[in-house]
Chain A
Amino acid sequence: MIKEYKTIKEIASPLMVVEHVEGVTFDELAEIELQNGERRRCKVLEVEGDRAVVQLFENAQGINLAESKVRFLGHPLELGVSEDMLGRVFNGMGEPIDGGPEILAEEHKDINGLPMNPAARAYPAEFIQTGVSAIDGLNTLVRGQKLPIFSGSGLPHAPLAAQIARQARVLGDNETFAVVFAAVGITFEESEYFINDFRRTGAIDRTVVFSNLANDPAVERISTPRMALTAAEYLAFEKDMQVLVIITDITNYAEALREVSAAKKEVPGRRGYPGYLYTDLATMYERAGRRQGKKGSITMIPILTMPEDDKTHPIPDLTGYITEGQIILSRDLFRKGLVPPIDVLPSLSRLKDKGIGVGKTREDHAGTMNQLFAAYSRGKDAKELMTILGEAALSDDDKIFARFADDFEKIYVSQGNNTNRSIEETLNIGWQLLSMLPRTELKRIKPEMIEKYMPKA
């Protein structure tokens, strides 16, 4: 028996206090019925005695303390899942907005999920070929990894993410894949860019879209990525699909979290974000992965824009501590006209070592990767010196490295958004570049490999 309460005591958007309640539990979902019959959803944040603090998912406009009714539904926020979700578009609360029929849910799942038992995880080790050299060759993505793109305002992260979604495949494998796309507080245009790209390539039939656009309620953004991940978990671990989850933009998510935290008058951590931002982000990111005994997997590419391009801002900083690496886009490289403008030095894939090498990519992968990094880093240092002291101040070796850095950016990184390179092509381009360098500098590659793969002049 669900009781209705007309005892709203206080509203300070996005929070509301309801009094004289009974049997209300933490994290429970509730519904407000306005005097005009409109219904909005909210959830319990704190309950003390007969008083519940409730967080609204939408704005508080039109709620009347005396007339509006609150019903507590006895369960947390859930998403009804079914395979029919593929090809459909939902709002941030999981309601269809594409004009199609309601989803007949196979089951209802708590959107918060449950922590995955580390003893039941399967370690991600299958190489995903994205066709992007800077990723495949140097910051290799593997199945079940969470690899965010750190971008900045105005940088082209969307074309890169769309390119990955379009080109990504596991070599020699025909399993069913699906894309779950969560738009969190982004503009209509950016969201359309992705959806059009999925449509153009036919991927749209295998895609589930959750859309909370910039003009949708900010607080709803806290649920949107969790809705998407709940759908992804269902598809991956119950329907054996290989799921790629793209969430954009995490920065908007964190801001919504800050808004609620401020309304709750919590002690703020850095830059006003709540002290539990790390834990909160982790409960989302950690839902990526593989499980022992299950065929499916969740690979996650969250996108975030670094405020002021600052990697030490709490959002990218905490994300970097949780995710398994990061792909960083650089404004300098973007200005130089590199497409995609991936700055490979601070970028990283933590899981690459288990996903490359004999039987996965090629035996020379690890050595050439380390050598390219080291050489590019040295070339950048040399170029920096050159800008201060002029080219004459460089040693002969340093001049070679400076030229290497330029060619590396032009040939290796800047491949364009429509080039799909196989891993062999990527590795061979690497060797071509390395052939510029003096042989004595190639310390990170085994001599046998140099003999075997170095292009003969």
Chain B
Amino acid sequence: MSGKVTKVSGPLVVAEGLADANVSDVVRVGRQRLIGEILNMTGDSASIQVYEETSGLGPSADVETTGMPMSVELGPGMLDNIYDGIQRPLPEIRAIAGETIARGTEVPALNREKVWDFVPVASVGDKLVTGDVLGTVQETSAINHKIMVPNGIEGEVVRIESGEHVVEDVIAVIRDKDGKEHDLTMIQRWPVRIARPYIKKYVPSRPMNSGQRIIDTLFPIAKGGTAAVPGPFGSGKTVVQHQLAKWSDVDIVVYIGCGERGNEMTDVLMEFPELKDPRNGEPLMKRTVLIANTSDMPVAAREASIYTGITIAEYFRDMGYDVAVLADSTSRWAEALREMSGRLEEMPGEEGYPAYLASRIAQFYERAGVVECMGSDERKGSVTAIGAVSPPGGDISEPVSQATMRIVKVFWALDSSLAYARHFPAINWLTSYSLYLDNLGAWYEDQFGPAYMENRNKAMSILQEESELLEIVRLVGQDALSANDRLTMETAKMVREDFLQQNAFVDDDAYSSYAKQYRLLDTILKYDEYAREALVKGAEIDRLFKIGAKEKIGRAKMIPQDRFEDEYDAIVAEMKAQIDEAAAGGEDE
């Protein structure tokens, strides 16, 4: 089944003589065997998007179909690794081609030589269905990789191996009801554009702890939920994504660098092996899969990278793990769609994007969720999808932001004016929202009692009030405000500066546990409460603003996790004493 190229226009190649090929088949183009995918077919001519640079390709070059759709290899060896958009391992490409990515480099996604210690779970005679665990492999120190029965196979185990094997070794044989025997290896293949199956989907009900105060306390995301982080350049999207990748309490993180800077991926590659997971002390890289299609890599592979990433995430979900997919940035993926659409001469929708943009975005986010996995042991797994959006000029009225907002449940709006004032994370507390508050309320109450959400709501209303008071101050000046309103402004400032601001580059501040978040906010709100009581007793407002404990609250977020409870108690006690003194002083005069 070999065709001939008739047209080359950038990443779009048209070839004829491919009547036997299927739409979405992966093809090899030209002497360099560039990897491509069939998008459309007319008669025997196929429009192919080529995932590598097509310079030097011309008519009459050979095109060969592999007869398979764009797929990924799933099995041990993906963690602690970095792939390009079509799952070629970059460290191995480097070993072959040097520092740059040469074309047509063929490397298997999973290392064929590496030996894994396969520990069988099933035994001969067991009746297994799709998704049942055959055995496990300790893939990294952090993750136990479950080898599952691939899709569409069920039957009786007639042989199962144990001990050291490479991924291509047959580790089990299953005989189906027709008596046919299936040799199973540790590798599964799955077409990236098709969601992996599950038994049942649930409404998300547990929060994903990110250690970021504004996220966990004000705008939480659920495990299995979806979120978008839109923001203009320089507002800290990537830092937010990196923070989530580092500190989220999920088992696996799939980080997709889609059309972004090469140095950002290098940063992750260098930093993650050094950082320890706060929950189990293992290096973070041991639970991370990186997909990198940096902005200088071929644009067509950018389109595939998002699907490659989410398919890998679904595979780990099927083992019963909680997985987070971070895609930075979905706008670059949408632009890749637009570029291919333009070359296919499709009728453009809004701003040149194809008319199917919104449905593609929805399809991607809908692959997130909490599910009961395939298999008979009722295990549950989740995929949480968080996408960065890079709206041109920071204006979220553009199609990608709008289509994303229609589907995601959490919206962390980054704000350039906050970033200019070096308020990080620059998530705007007035425009952001989380629609999971209702679903998660029960969890918070169960864990911390009703006070957690009460404090949260109180903080939100203080911030809201502040924005209204600021309008007045802008019109008539600070003096027009009552003492109570001035206190509200001061408390709001403390919430913003002493609670919401969080420095990703300071060790004791980068990650905040729920308990610390709660106590910190509670301390600030206690200041508000005590000071308000003191005002009633006639305390002078300026004196309340100047108490020494306030400076300590300002530094309280830097207090390490192991000491904060005692120190916060001390601050509250000191604050109470100083406020009482101010109140007493007020009465004397």
Contact = CB atoms under 8 A, between A and B. Distances in A.
A387 to B, nearest CB: 11
Nearest to B302: A279
Contacts of A374: 421-423
Given A24-B58, A287-B296, A321-B390, A116 B99 contact: yes
Interface string B387-413: 000101111000000000000000000
B59 A50 contact: yes
A350 B234 CA distance: 8
A101 interface: no
Interface residues of A, number: 83
Nearest to A279: B299
Given A119-B82, A119-B94, A278-B332, A46 B8 contact: yes
Contacts of B257: 118
Given A117-B100, A443-B554, A47 B58 contact: yes
Given A270-B392, A440-B550, A317 B58 contact: no
Interface string A184-215: 00000000000000000000000000000000
A25 B348 contact: no
Interface in A3-54: 23-28, 45-50
Contacts of A278: 259, 295, 332, 335
Interface stretch (B36-44, B195-203, B276-284, B475-483): B475-483
A440 B352 CA distance: 53
B364 interface: no
A282 B55 contact: no
Interface residues of B, number: 79
Interface string B337-349: 0110010000010
Nearest to A326: B234
Contacts, number: 221
Interface in A293-351: 293-294, 311-314, 317-318, 320-322, 324-326, 345-346, 348, 350-351
B101 interface: yes
B352 A25 contact: no
Contacts of A389: 476-477
B6 A267 contact: no
A118 B269 contact: yes
Contact of A346 (B299, B416, B479): B416
Contacts of B60: 23
Interface string B293-337: 011111100000000000000000000000000000000100100
A239 B551 CA distance: 54
A254 to B, nearest CB: 14
B418 to A, nearest CB: 10
Nearest to A269: B352
Nearest to A369: B422
A45 B10 CA distance: 8
Nearest to A396: B542
B261 A117 contact: no
B265 interface: yes
A291 B101 CA distance: 13
Nearest to B92: A119
A116 B551 contact: no
Nearest to B271: A123
A25 B6 CA distance: 11
A1 to B, nearest CB: 16
A117 B233 contact: no
Interface stretch (A57-65, A107-115, A400-408): A107-115
Contacts of A266: 342
B566 interface: no
Given A279-B335, A374-B421, A123 B59 contact: no
A388 interface: yes
A354 B270 CA distance: 12
Given A119-B82, A286-B296, A320-B234, A292 B55 contact: no
Contacts of A345: 420-421
Contacts of A113: 100
A182 B407 CA distance: 45
A390 to B, nearest CB: 8
A320 B295 CA distance: 13
A26 B392 contact: no
Interface string A152-176: 0000000000000000000000000
- Of all A-B residue pairs in the complex, the 7 with the closest CB atoms, nearest first, are A312-B393, A282-B295, A393-B477, A25-B58, A286-B296, A114-B100, A27-B55
6 contacts: A26-B10, A48-B6, A118-B257, A119-B82, A278-B335, A345-B420
Given A118-B257, A266-B342, A385-B473, 5 more contacts: A118-B269, A120-B94, A268-B352, A312-B395, A321-B390
